[in-house]
């Protein structure tokens, strides 16, 4: 029995000495392969749905989507339809039509491992096809014989001006935050520059679907959206890690 105990002790002692003779790696290599998800993200603009519920003069729906091309580069698009009725001082009109925006987004945010959030800047080329209906108007006149006060008379015309269209460029800044796995909440602000604007000579375009209000003597417009979207993963790609710059002190010496 003592012989077996001595042999076991010798075996453990030799094993311990051999293990201590091996160099100890104080900076073990990370064996976990880091990957990025690539796929199609599709969703809805929540702001238009909420506004359609709260404002009886507005109806709108916008679909949003993007596709990841590279680590920080995305193809992006928005497709929408809007109907808006506006009461001005002397007239009331309704605009109805559809629009398409397409372009790219560049992610400027460096995520921690396991995160997929986005802070992006980008651009769009947008086109819109729509019609305007002049519902009624009023004309002020000072040609009253018996009284000095001005007066107005109106007319319910319901005249439609169709086959209208416009195009513009759009600068975009926004964010998308992953709330749950593959589910994102997004927000963006857009500044548009009107390029073309086909309108009827009798009634100018006052509001363009996707562009919003048209301002006199200015080709600029502004819009925003709040979106909820879901990422459909198609494949994964190994994460591209940035190479660490080695200082002169850290360079190995011969």
pLDDT value at residue 230: 97
Give the pLDDT band (50/70/90) at residue 224.
Answer: very high
Higher pLDDT pick, 15 / 160: 160
Name the DSSP letter for residue 200. Answer: B
Q: Is residue 197 over pLDDT 80? A: yes
pLDDT value at residue 115: 75
**Residue 96 · residue 154 · CB < 8 Å:** no
Higher pLDDT pick, 107 / 215: 107
Mean pLDDT across 23-50? 77
Mean pLDDT across 177-182? 93
pLDDT value at residue 143: 57
Look at residues 188, 178, 182, 191 and name the one whose alpha carbon lies nearest to residue 222.
191
Distance CA 55, CA 44 (A): 18
DSSP conformation letters of 150-194: -EEEEE---EEEEEEEEEEEEEEEEEEEEEETTEEEEEEEEEEEE
**pLDDT, tens only, 41-79:** 999 999 999 999 999 999 999 999 999 999 899 999 999
Q: Where are the domains of the chain?
A: 35-130+165-204+213-234
DSSP H helices, the chain, are: 2-21, 46-54
Worst-scoring range by mean pLDDT, 80-94, 104-118, 119-133, 186-200? 104-118
pLDDT value at residue 2: 45
Q: Which two tokens stand for residue 216?
A: 């006199």
What does the chain come to in residues? 254
Cβ burial 111-148 (10 Å sphere, 16+ → b, else e): eeeeebebebebebebbbebebbbbebeeeeeeeeeee
State the average pLDDT for the chain: 82
Look at residues 168, 159, 160, 158 and name the one whose alpha carbon lies nearest to residue 208.
168
pLDDT value at residue 195: 97
pLDDT value at residue 14: 52
Q: Is residue 139 over pLDDT 90? A: no
**Residue 110 · residue 100 · CB < 8 Å:** no
Would you say domain 35-130+165-204+213-234 falls under CATH 2.40.160?
Answer: yes
* Three-state secondary-structure class, residue 212: strand
Give the pLDDT band (50/70/90) at residue 202.
Answer: confident
CA 169 to chain centre: 15
Q: What is the pTM of this model?
A: 0.76
pLDDT value at residue 251: 56
The angle subtended at Cα 43 by Cα 38 and Cα 46, nearest 5°, is 145
Mean pLDDT across 145-166? 67
**Max Cα–Cα distance, the chain, nearest Å:** 135
Look at residues 223, 107, 243 and name the one whose alpha carbon lies nearest to residue 176.
107
**Residue 192 · residue 222 · CB < 8 Å:** yes
Higher pLDDT pick, 93 / 25: 93
């Amino acid at each position: 029995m003592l012989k077996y105990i001595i042999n076991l002790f010798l075996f453990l002692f030799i094993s311990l000495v051999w293990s201590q003779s091996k160099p100890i790696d104080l900076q073990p290599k990370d064996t976990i392969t880091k990957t990025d998800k690539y796929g199609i993200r599709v969703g809805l603009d929540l702001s238009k749905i909420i506004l359609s519920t709260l404002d009886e003069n507005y109806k709108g729906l916008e679909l949003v989507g993007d596709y990841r091309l590279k680590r920080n580069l995305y193809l992006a698009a928005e497709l929408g339809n809007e109907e808006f009725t506006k009461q001005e001082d002397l007239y009331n009109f309704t605009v109805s039509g559809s629009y398409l925006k397409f372009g790219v987004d560049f992610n400027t945010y460096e995520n921690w491992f396991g995160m997929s959030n986005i802070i992006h800047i980008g651009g769009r080329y947008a086109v819109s096809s729509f019609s305007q209906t002049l519902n009624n108007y009023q004309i002020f006149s000072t040609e009253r014989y018996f009284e000095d006060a001005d007066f107005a008379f109106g007319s319910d015309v319901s005249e439609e001006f169709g086959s209208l269209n416009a195009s513009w460029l759009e600068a975009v800044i926004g964010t998308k935050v992953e709330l749950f796995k593959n589910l994102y909440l997004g927000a963006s602000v857009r500044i548009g520059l009107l390029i073309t604007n086909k309108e009827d000579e009798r009634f100018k375009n006052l509001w363009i679907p996707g562009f919003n209000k048209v301002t006199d003597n200015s080709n600029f417009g502004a819009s925003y959206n709040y979106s909820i979207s879901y990422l459909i993963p198609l494949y994964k790609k190994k994460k591209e890690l940035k190479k660490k710059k080695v200082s002169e002190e850290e360079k190995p010496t011969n």
